[in-house]
């Protein structure tokens, strides 16, 4: 599938609204032709233009992200190695290796880190599902991180909509480093504001 242009994505979301956001992210599990980061930021951008209601587009975006990844978890639990074999056939072996290394090194916290690594974020739920992680544990780590991750990129879309392609390129290329940078800056800003209020 050819890479969808940003303008086509924006038109698609404008035409089909909130459910376009949801299904674009939900279908990320089978490989949409656009980075998830770009889709989330597009929801924020269109909300900033008044074409979508902010809270509705954020909610459907968040639900699209976590339900898509949850589908991966369920498929991993039900079909195990048969799913992994298909991933290997799709030339994603290096991402599978990276996902397994992340899981071996960080355990449950790999679910947190994986959100900031494109493709790995979709493979890791398969692995933890296949390894019989309890759904409650999966939901605790994945849904909490998913909320923060969605909030970060949705806010970037709200504030810097005209730079979506550039931000998405950096996020895709540098993944986890970009995520850590954003989280660090957000924490510093949060504590700075608290200090001023006191």
Q: Mean pLDDT over residues 92-115, rounded?
A: 86
Percent of the chain with pLDDT over 90: 29
Confidence of residue 17 (pLDDT cuts 50, 70, 90): confident
Look at residue 178 and tell me whether its pLDDT is greater than 80: no
Tokens standing for residue 54? 């902010």
Quote the pLDDT of residue 3.
Answer: 43
Q: Rounded to two decimals, what is the model's pTM? A: 0.81
Q: Mean pLDDT over residues 111-132, rounded?
A: 89
Long-range contacts of 183-186 (CB under 8 A, 24+ apart): 183/148, 183/152, 186/152
Tokens standing for residue 163? 């730079």
Quote the pLDDT of residue 93.
Answer: 73
Convert the pLDDT of each residue in 52-75 to its tens digit.
Answer: 999 999 999 999 999 989 998 998
Alpha helices in 4-92 (DSSP H): 6-16, 18-26, 36-48, 54-79, 81-89
């Amino acid at each position: 599938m050819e890479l969808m242009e940003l303008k086509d994505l924006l038109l698609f979301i404008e035409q089909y609204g909130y459910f376009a956001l949801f299904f674009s992210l939900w279908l990320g599990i089978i490989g949409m032709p656009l980075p998830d980061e770009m889709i989330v930021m597009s929801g924020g951008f269109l909300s900033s233009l008044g074409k979508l209601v902010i809270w509705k587009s954020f909610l459907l975006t968040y639900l699209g992200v976590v339900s898509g990844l949850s589908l991966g978890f369920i498929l991993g639990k039900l079909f195990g190695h048969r799913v992994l074999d298909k991933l290997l056939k799709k030339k994603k072996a290096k991402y599978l290796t990276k996902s397994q290394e992340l899981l071996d090194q960080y355990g449950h916290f790999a679910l947190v880190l994986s959100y900031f690594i494109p493709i790995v974020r979709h493979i890791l739920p398969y692995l933890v599902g296949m390894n019989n992680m309890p759904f409650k544990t999966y939901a605790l780590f994945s849904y909490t991180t998913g909320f923060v991750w969605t909030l970060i990129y949705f806010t970037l879309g709200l504030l810097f909509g005209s730079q979506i392609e550039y931000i998405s390129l950096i996020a895709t290329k540098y993944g986890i480093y970009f995520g850590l940078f954003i989280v660090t800056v957000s924490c510093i800003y949060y504590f700075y504001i608290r200090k001023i209020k006191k």
